[in-house]
Structure 1
Amino acid sequence: MAVARRPIALLASALLALSVLACAPAGTRDAIHVAEVEGVVGSVLDRYVDRVIDHAEDTEARLVVLIVDTPGGEIGAMKRIVGRIERARVPVITWVGPPGAQAVSAGTFIVMAGHVAAMAPGTSIGAASPVLVTGQDLPDTLGRKVEEDTVAFARGVAQLHDRNPDWAEAAVRDAAAASPQQALELGVVDLVAPTLESLLAAAEGRPVTLLGGVDRTISVAGAPFVENRITGFERFLRVVSDPVVVSLLILIGLVGVAIEFFSPGLLLPGTVGVFALIVGFLGAGTLLPAEAALVLLVLAVVLLVAEFFVPGGILGVVGSMALLMALGIWAGQVATAVTGLQAFLLVFATLIVVVAGAAFALRHYVAGTSETGTRLT
C-alpha cells in the first residue's frame, strides 16, 4: 500500500501545481489600480510595489493608487520604492488612509513621492529620523553620515514634486510630524480626503508631470478598479525574511546536513537540511526568488526520481513540497499573464501527472498479478 500511495501523492501535487498556474487573472486595461502599502517597509514591500506598477504599465492603466499605512522600515527599500514611483509611466497617487493610518519614518517619503499626495483625516506623516533596527540611535559618525544622506534624499524627493523641502529636512533632523491639515498647509501633501472615492473625485482633472517631462491629466470617470493584493508567495517571503526565521532556518539546515554527513543513509536529516538552507538563503536575500525556484526545482526532480528507487516515502513528500514551492515562487513573480517560463512549468507539471499516473497503473497491475507463493500440484 505504501508503494501505491507514492504515485498518488505525486499526482495530487502536480494537479495542485497546475491549478496554481491556471489561476492567473487576465489584465484589465485602462483601469485604476489600487494597492495597499502596509506593514514594515522592506524587500517584500519593495517587490510588491514594483509588481503593481509593472502591472499597471503593462495594461496601460489610467493611474495607480497606493494606500499607505506603515510605521517605516529599511532606508534602502524605501529608496527603491520611491525610485519606482518616480519612474512610473502612469500617474501614482499616494494616500495615507483610511483614518487611523500612518506614514511615518520611511513611509513619509513614499507618500511625498506620489504625483498626487493625500491624507485621510485622523492620520499622520513624518518622524523620519534614521534609527537602528532595534529603535536605538545610530552611533555618532555613522549617524551623521546616514542623516545627511537621508536629508539630501528627502529634499530631492520634495523638490521634484514641488513640495516643502524644509519640512522634509525637519522630518529627518528633528523628527517633525504633521497632521493632515498641517501637512496640507505646509505643502507636504496636495489633498485631504476621507475616503478613496472622495480622493479620486478631488484628483479628477489634475495635471501631473511624469519623469521625463511627460504631462498627463488624471481621469477617473468610468474607469474600472483593479485590486492588486499581496500574493501568497509575498506573504511567505515576508515571514521567511524575518531575521529570526532566517537564522533558525540556516541553523536547522546546517544541523541536518551535519547529521547526514556523520550518519549517512538516514536521508531525512540531509533532505530537510538542504530544503531549510535553500529557504533560509531565499529569506536572507542570498538567493533571488528565480534562483531559489530553480534550485528547488532541481532538488524536486532528484528527490522524486530517487523516490522510485528508495522505499520510505520521505523523499517523495519533500520532493513534492520542493516542487510546489518552486512553482509557487515562479507563479508569484508574475501578476497577470502566463510567461514562457510558466508555460515550461505547466508542461513539466503535466509530465509529472503522466509519469505518476503511469507508475500508479503499472504498480497496481503488477501488484494485482503477482504470485502468492502457492502452487497447485
Structure 2
Amino acid sequence: MLVCLLMLLALPSVSAASGSGEARPSVKTDVAGQGPVYVIPVDQRIERGLQAFLERGFKEARKYEASLIVLTIDTPGGLVASAEEIGALIRDSRIPVLAYIEGDAASAGSYLALNADAIVMKPGSMMGSASLVDGSGRAIEDAKLISFWKAKMTGAALLNRRDPDIAAGMTDRNLVFDKPEIGLKKEKGEITALSPEQALKAGYADAIEPTVKEAADWMGYGGHDMIQVKHTGAEKLSTFLTNPIVMTILLFLGIAGVVIELLVPGFGVFGIVGIVAFVLYFFGNYVAGFAGAETWLLFIAGLVMLVLEVFVPSFGILGLLGSACLIAGVVRAAFSLEHALFSLGIAFGAAVVVIAIVVMVFRDRGIWNRFILSSSLTREEGFVPVAPLPELLGERGVSLTPLRPAGTAEIGGRRFDVITEGGFIAASVPVRVIRVEGGKVVVQTIQVEG
C-alpha cells in the first residue's frame, strides 16, 4: 500500500514536468551515443541529383555513427518523385533527423521538412506554398494529382501529429479553413505559407533558433562535434551540367560538332567539340544519378556506327542505327522524358541551321566530293584534246566502212571517224559533211540525180 501511495503522489509531479518548459519532439532513440552531428545542406532544386547527394550524406553519417542529422533547408521545391524518395530516406533513417529551415522550405521542401523528426526554423524563413506546378510554372488543375499530393503532405504532417488541415492548405487552393486559436485563416484560392511564428503556433515548427548550432543545442546535442557534408567537385559540376539550358547547349554542340566533322572532314575541331559536349552531357547526368552505365554504351555504340557509316557501305543502315542509339542514350540519361525530348528538339533544330551554313561555306571540303569526278585533263598536263575541224563542213567524201551509224570515211584525201544522224550507210557510198561539233563529224549520203 505504501508503494501505491508513493506512486499516486508522484503522478502530479510527472504531469507538471511534462507541461512545463519547452517541449521536445519525440525522436528516434535506437541510435544513441556521443557521435557527431552531420549537417547536410538542401540548398538546390529537389531532383535526382540532390537525392544522390543526400543518400551519400546519410550513408556517411551511418558509417561514422552520427547521433543526429541536420538538414539545412533552403529550396524552391522540385520534382515530386524525387521528394518522395528523399522523404522515404528521411523517415527510414535510424539516426534522428532535424529539419532546420534557414531560408524557404517551399513546395516539395515542406514535404521533406515534415518527414523529419523535428522542425526548427530560422527567423525570417518560410514554410509552405506547396501547390503543384508544371515545367513552365503554371498551376496544375488536375484533381487527381492534387489529391495525390495533398495525401502525401497530410500523411507527412501526421507522422509527428501535426494538424493535417494546414498541410492540405499548402497544396489545395480550394480548401477553406479558419483556426482562430492559432490566428490562421485560409480563403478559397489561397495557398498556405507559414512564417516561423505562425508555424510555431500551429505546431509546424518545434522551435525558432538563429543558427544550426543553437538548433542542435535545443535538440540536446550541444556538446557533439558538427560535420558539414559538402558537395564534391563532381557533384557541383553535375549540378551545372544538368541545368536544362546547359543540357540543351551541350546537345546542340554535340549534334552539330559530330555531324559537321562527318560531312566536312579534315579539321578535327568540330569532332572534338562534339564528342566533348556529349561526354559532358552524359557525365553530368551520370553523377546526378539520372543515367546508368547503359547510356554510355548507347552513346559509344552510336558514335562508332556513325563513323563506320562513312567508310563502310551499308545503304544508310549503320547511320540509322547509330542515330537511334545516340537518341536513346540522350533520352535515357535525362531525368525526365519530357525535358529530354524538349531539349533534343531545340538542339536538333539549331544544329541543322548551323550544319547547313558550315556545309555551304566549306562545300569544297565536303565528303560528297569523294564521289564526284572533279579532275580534268588539260593541255598543260600533257593531254592534247581533239582538234576542232570546222573546215570540213560541206566537204564531200566516200565511206570506207559501213556507217552503223559510226564508221570511217575519206574526206579530202584524209581518213576521219564519222557518224551519221542515225541511219545506215554502206561502204563506198558518197557522203557530205553536214555538221561538225568539235571533233565529231556528222555526214549524210549525197543524193545522186540521174
TM-score by length of structure 2 reads 0.51
User: Structure 1 residues 287, 102: closer, same or farther in 2, change over 3 A?
Assistant: closer
Q: Distance in 2 between matches of 1:83 and 1:107?
A: 14
Q: Distance in 1 between matches of 2:204 and 2:254?
A: 48
Secondary structure of 2:41's aligned partner: strand
Q: Which has the higher contact order (CA 8 A, sep 6+)?
A: 1
Q: CA deviation at 1:284?
A: 5.3
1:150 partnered with 2:149:
yes
Q: Which runs of structure 2 are paired with 1:35-184 in the superposition (5 Å)? A: 35-97=40-102, 101-138=103-140, 140=141, 143-174=142-173, 175-184=191-200
RMSD of Structure 2 on Structure 1 (CA): 2.7
User: Structure 1 residues 284, 222: closer, same or farther in 2, change over 3 A?
Assistant: closer
Q: CA deviation at 1:237?
A: 1.0
What CA deviation, in whole Å up to 9, does each residue of 1:57-91 have, x standing for no partner?
11111111111111222222222221111121211
Q: Distance in 1 between matches of 2:128 and 2:290?
A: 32
Highest Rg: 1 or 2?
A: 2
Q: CA deviation at 1:125?
A: 0.6
Q: Which runs of structure 2 are paired with 1:322-361 in the superposition (5 Å)? A: none
Q: CA deviation at 1:130?
A: 0.6
What CA deviation, in whole Å up to 9, does each residue of 1:275-331 have, x standing for no partner?
212322444569856639977xx99xx9xxxxxxxxxxxxxxxxxxxxxxxxxxxxx
Secondary structure of 1:83's aligned partner: helix
Runs of 4+ in 1 over 6 A off after TM superposition: 292-295
Q: Distance in 2 between matches of 1:271 and 1:293?
A: 20
Partner of 1:272: 273
1:279/1:292 contact within 8 Å kept: no
The residue type equivalent to 1:44 in the other structure is G
Q: Distance in 1 between matches of 2:277 and 2:213?
A: 45
1:202 partnered with 2:214:
no
Q: Distance in 1 between matches of 2:227 and 2:113?
A: 21
TM-score by length of structure 1 reads 0.61
How many residues are aligned here?
250
Q: CA deviation at 1:178?
A: 1.0
Partner of 1:317: none
Q: CA deviation at 1:221?
A: 4.7
Q: Distance in 2 between matches of 1:31 and 1:287?
A: 28
Q: Distance in 2 between matches of 1:237 and 1:284?
A: 7
1:42/1:74 contact within 8 Å kept: yes
Partner of 2:358: none
Partner of 1:26: none
The residue type equivalent to 2:91 in the other structure is E
Partner of 2:245: 244
Partner of 2:326: none
Q: Distance in 2 between matches of 1:187 and 1:76?
A: 27
2:75/2:105 contact within 8 Å kept: yes
Q: Distance in 2 between matches of 1:287 and 1:155?
A: 29
The residue type equivalent to 1:102 in the other structure is D
1:259/1:270 contact within 8 Å kept: yes
Q: Distance in 2 between matches of 1:71 and 1:287?
A: 21
Partner of 2:262: 261
Q: Distance in 2 between matches of 1:256 and 1:67?
A: 42
Q: Distance in 1 between matches of 2:172 and 2:229?
A: 35
Which has the larger strand fraction? 2
Structure 2: gaps (5+ residues): 1-33, 174-190, 305-450
User: Structure 1 residues 176, 287: closer, same or farther in 2, change over 3 A?
Assistant: closer
User: Structure 1 residues 294, 253: closer, same or farther in 2, change over 3 A?
Assistant: closer
1:230 partnered with 2:231:
yes
Partner of 1:306: none
What CA deviation, in whole Å up to 9, does each residue of 1:188-212 have, x standing for no partner?
22222222232122211xxxxxxxx
Which has the larger helix fraction? 1
Q: CA deviation at 1:39?
A: 2.7
Q: Distance in 2 between matches of 1:102 and 1:144?
A: 26
Q: Distance in 2 between matches of 1:232 and 1:240?
A: 12
Q: Distance in 2 between matches of 1:271 and 1:181?
A: 57
Identity rate, percent: 29
Q: Distance in 1 between matches of 2:134 and 2:255?
A: 29
Q: CA deviation at 1:265?
A: 4.2
